[in-house]
Copies of this chain bind each other. A is one copy, B any other.
Amino acid sequence: MSNQYVAKSRRLRSTIYSSRIENQGVTSYTIYNHMLLPAGFGGSLEETYNHLKNYVQIWDVAAERQIEIIGRDAYQLVQLMTCRDLSNAKEGKCYYCPIIDENGGMINDPVVLKFNSEKWWISIADSDVMLFAKGLAIGKNLEVSITEPDVNIMAVQGPKAFNLLEKIFGKEILDLKFYNYKYYNFKKTKHLIARSGWSKQGGVEIYVEDSKSGLELYDLLFEEGKEFNVKPGCPHLIERIEGALLSYGNDMGINDNPFECGLEKFVNLENDIEFLGKENLIKIKENGINKKLMGVKINLEKINLRSSIDLQIDDKKIGEIRSAVFSPTFNMVIGIAMINKPYFITKDKFDIIIENKKYKGEICDIPFV
């Protein structure tokens, strides 16, 4: 497989950290919400995986943009877009929410932060949720203002994350609960910090609104983190697939509904709330789904997946693999695949053809065990 450089331009927006991570040796980028998101810092995938699982990393995840919804009808609009019941949402908590269209198709899978009933942030995956929200608000005459404020998230991830954070923010930060957020002082600037992040190794995401203070904090995290072997990093393919963290655009899209994506616990059909696609989701729940995201394990020592590949039984397509990587833990390739009915129940063995060679694989539950 050949490699190509990223052609940089203003349209592929840099973050406030880009010049720092380029000095620190970032070697590859992906693009996420029209913005540069680091994808590698040299070293093998397995080396950086081991580092993330043992130490602490600082990630430039500013591409995880915020959509700010403010105004009298803010709650109504946010609720309209998600099948998760937010009527009792609390300030200080983060909510993972499927955003769906009128058919129940996935448009995004953000984390939603409530500040008060008239101010919300939607911390989005890679699609223009702002345009969807704007269209809905205009069409329904809602009294809201919808913008993308310049918030640049940096994540602190890894088992040593809280050792490092404690040095800077004091013991207080240790009390922050999972999927909660709170403001913490760094020198004279308040920073919103949430106990969240796109790894299973623990840590926080710092929603930097004050760039100057944020960059000072970034530098200090590396200075104070030396004793914990801190390194720059980024969401990690092995770690996220092993942890079954879904990736919008890779594992799921507008033609998949939350049930098919295994997100049924974020679908609230019983309550008296209004959201798009509710009737369709009720029907789907009654009739059952025809495909489902499952894990797969394949007898292979490496894979470079850049588009989906069909999975077959006796030359008949039974699903497609959408993300995959060699897992050091399982010592084979593991992946996330959309599997047709009834194979997501029967979990038969399948064939996959890669570079004209046929390999055997099996369907399994996620998270992987």
Interface residues of A (CB under 8 A from B): 1-14, 22, 26-31, 34, 39-40, 101-102, 107, 126-129, 131-140, 247-250, 276, 304-308, 322-323
Contact = CB atoms under 8 A, between A and B. Distances in A.
Nearest to A2: B22
A129 B131 contact: yes
A30 to B, nearest CB: 5
A8 B26 CA distance: 15
Contacts of A14: 306-307
A323 B10 contact: yes
Given A7-B29, A10-B250, A129-B131, 10 more contacts: A5-B6, A7-B28, A9-B30, A9-B306, A9-B323, A11-B30, A11-B249, A11-B250, A34-B249, A131-B131
A11 B139 contact: no
A249 B10 contact: yes
Contacts of A132: 128, 131-132, 134-135
B126 A34 contact: yes
Interface residue SS majority, chain A: loop
Most central of A11, A132, A139, A322 by chain B CB within 10 Å: A11
Contacts of A29: 4-7
A360 to B, nearest CB: 22
A11 B31 CA distance: 9
A196 to B, nearest CB: 21
B11 A276 contact: no
Contacts of A140: 139
B34 A7 contact: no
B139 A135 contact: yes
Nearest to A3: B5
A315 B304 CA distance: 50
B31 A4 contact: no
A26 B13 contact: no
